[in-house]
Amino acid sequence: MNLEQDTFKSYNNEPFNADVFDVKLVDSNLSGLWRYHQFLPVNFKDAITLGEGYTPLLPVKLFGKQVFVKQEQLSPTGSYKDRGASVLMSYAKKIGVTHVVQDSSGNAGCSIAAYAANAGIGCDIFVPADTSSAKLAQVRAYGANLFLVDGDRQATAAAALLAAQKAYYASHCYNPYFLQGTKTFAYEVCEQMGWKTPDVIVLPAGNGTLILGCYIGFKHLFESNVIAKMPKIVAVQAANCAPLYEAWKQGLNEPVKVNSGLTLAEGIAIAEPIRGKEMISAVNKTQGIFVTVSDDEVVGALKLCNSQGFYIEPTSAATIAGLKKAQEIVEGETWVTLFSGHGLKSTEKILAILDA
Ligand SMILES: *Cc1c(COP(=O)(O)O)cnc(C)c1O
């Protein structure tokens, strides 16, 4: 899949309503991400929506500096994955899919299960056996069939791929429609800043659904002359599982082989990101950088956020720890980042941190 072709070209001969982004075409009567339906590959009348998107962009003081933090933990299922799931499942419903398969380390499974339920589509979710119990409860509550797979994230993907021979593969990593949903994050940041772009945007780097979505969205706005420049993308990996950081540091354009070590940031511990090459390219094209964060730094960032009343999962805190690192390296006035997932999804891990 070619990232440039993914940007805003048609899929299956179905053109988007508008190829060029025009601010006047934003449907501001709609409160969520479907306000951008003119730039999405599914018509609004076919939308499967739970009210996702248009999360607050809140000024927050972190590490002595004011940054803008998108409150994605407030999404319907508690993570930004709902953006991708809404657009992908709308498309699936529209083409007549009756059953989907998907694999994830947690949050993408929750999102796909929720939107499948809303669409009346059957759903099988494969997760690693050690996924946190709150996410397992969430998937089951939405009525999806849950399959626990022994072994790592790669073993889970293999099991799902096998099952996908008989059903539609609603993968957040492979399926380009998912990125068409996450790109709305970039549209919203710019709209909420008065159609301006931040200088730097700090994002998690696991499978890259947000990095690639943001790249597509900002590029669309830039090529449509809505914004004057692209923000630098700072991509944050866990030090114990950093195939992209290691590659980038060595000047390579493909992820290197790493062992997937244990990390508190379960949501970004992806040893073999299938769009890794595209992620490195996107970061380089914006003059961005990769950084890594240790578990100690994740805990520090989590406690800082908690102390201001924000309850987020440890994976989300990794991005905030990365913000601190990047501020020592990258120049820029305006910084945007996000709280990617809600703390209620990781009760055991947070209890373990508090009790340590
Ligand atoms: C999925 C996820 C990430 C990582 O995003 P990728 O798309 O895999 O790069 C970060 N934080 C949370 C809470 C997530 O659910």
Tell whether ligand 1 has an atom less than 6 A from the beta carbon of residue 204. yes
pLDDT digits 0-9 by tens, 343-352: 999 999 999 9
pLDDT recorded at residue 263: 84
* Token reading at 105: 């380390």
Tell whether ligand 1 has an atom less than 6 A from the beta carbon of residue 156. no
Of ligand 1's atoms, which has the minimum distance to the CA of residue 72? Answer: 13
From 226, 210, 330, 327, select the one nearest 270 (Cα to Cα): 210
* Token reading at 234: 């700072």
Tell how far the Cα of 180 is from the centroid of ligand 1, in angstroms.
16
- Comparison of pLDDT for 188 and 158, the residue scoring more: 188
pLDDT recorded at residue 14: 52
Fold of domain 57-76+177-355: Rossmann fold (3.40.50)
pLDDT recorded at residue 164: 84
pLDDT recorded at residue 16: 67
Q: Pocket of ligand 1, candidates 55, 69, 107: which has the most ligand atoms within 8 Å of its Cβ, to mutate?
A: 107
Q: Residue 11 — very low, low, confident or very high, per pLDDT cuts 50/70/90? A: very low
For residue 7, pLDDT beyond 60: no
pLDDT digits 0-9 by tens, 206-225: 999 999 999 999 999 999 99
* Token reading at 278: 């595209």
Tell whether ligand 1 has an atom less than 6 A from the beta carbon of residue 346. no
Query: Average pLDDT in the 164-181 region?
Result: 92
Percent of the chain past pLDDT 90, that is, above it, reads 83
pLDDT recorded at residue 6: 45
Percent of the chain past pLDDT 70, that is, above it, reads 95
Pick from 17-21, 182-186, 245-249: least confident: 17-21
Annotate 62-116 with three-state secondary structure: ECCEEEEEECHHHCCCCECHHHHHHHHHHHHHHCCCCEEEEECCCHHHHHHHHHH
Tell how far the Cα of 24 is from the centroid of ligand 1, in angstroms.
31
Tell how far the Cα of 168 is from the centroid of ligand 1, in angstroms.
22
For residue 12, pLDDT beyond 50: no
Tell how far the Cα of 133 is from the centroid of ligand 1, in angstroms.
18
Query: Average pLDDT in the 185-191 region?
Result: 98
Classify burial at 354, counting beta carbons within 10 Å of its beta carbon; exposed 0-12, middle 13-18, buried 19 or more: exposed
For residue 2, pLDDT beyond 60: no
Residue 345 to residues 152, 205, 266, 353: CA-CA distances in angstroms? 20, 19, 12, 14
Sequence-distant (6+) residues with CB within 8 A of 353 are: 264, 299, 302, 314
Q: Which residue's CA lies nearest to atom 1 of ligand 1? A: 267
Tell whether ligand 1 has an atom less than 6 A from the beta carbon of residue 337. no
Tell whether ligand 1 has an atom less than 6 A from the beta carbon of residue 209. yes
For residue 18, pLDDT beyond 80: no
Give 239's DSSP letter: T
Interatomic CA distance for residues 208 and 215, integer angstroms: 10
pLDDT recorded at residue 13: 42
Pick from 49-63, 120-134, 191-205, 226-240: least confident: 120-134
For residue 234, pLDDT beyond 50: yes
For residue 143, pLDDT beyond 50: yes
Select from 1.20.120.80, 3.40.50.1100, 3.40.630.30, 3.40.50.620 the CATH code of 81-175: 3.40.50.1100
Tell how far the Cα of 267 is from the centroid of ligand 1, in angstroms.
5
For residue 17, pLDDT beyond 80: no
pLDDT recorded at residue 261: 75
Q: Residue 4 — very low, low, confident or very high, per pLDDT cuts 50/70/90? A: very low
Of ligand 1's atoms, which has the minimum distance to the CA of residue 313? Answer: 13
Interatomic CA distance for residues 81 and 313, integer angstroms: 14
Tell whether ligand 1 has an atom less than 6 A from the beta carbon of residue 208. yes
Q: Where are the domains of the chain?
A: 57-76+177-355, 81-175
Query: Average pLDDT in the 39-52 region?
Result: 96
Query: Average pLDDT in the 217-238 region?
Result: 97
pLDDT recorded at residue 3: 45
pLDDT recorded at residue 275: 95
Q: Which residue's CA lies nearest to atom 14 of ligand 1? A: 267
For residue 9, pLDDT beyond 70: no
The answer to pTM > 0.85 is yes
Interatomic CA distance for residues 293 and 32, integer angstroms: 32
Convert 279-308 to b/e letters by CB count within 10 Å (16 or more is b).
bbbbbeebebbbbbbbbebbbbbbebbbee
pLDDT digits 0-9 by tens, 58-86: 999 999 999 999 999 999 999 999 999 99
For residue 1, pLDDT beyond 70: no
Give 131's DSSP letter: S
Tell whether ligand 1 has an atom less than 6 A from the beta carbon of residue 315. yes
Interatomic CA distance for residues 281 and 272, integer angstroms: 16
Tell how far the Cα of 268 is from the centroid of ligand 1, in angstroms.
6
From 224, 265, 263, 258, select the one nearest 244 (Cα to Cα): 258
Would you say the CATH fold of 81-175 matches that of 57-76+177-355? yes
Tell whether ligand 1 has an atom less than 6 A from the beta carbon of residue 132. no
Tell how far the Cα of 134 is from the centroid of ligand 1, in angstroms.
16
From 314, 293, 292, select the one nearest 303 (Cα to Cα): 314
Q: Pocket of ligand 1, candidates 55, 71, 75, 79: which has the most ligand atoms within 8 Å of its Cβ, to mutate?
A: 79
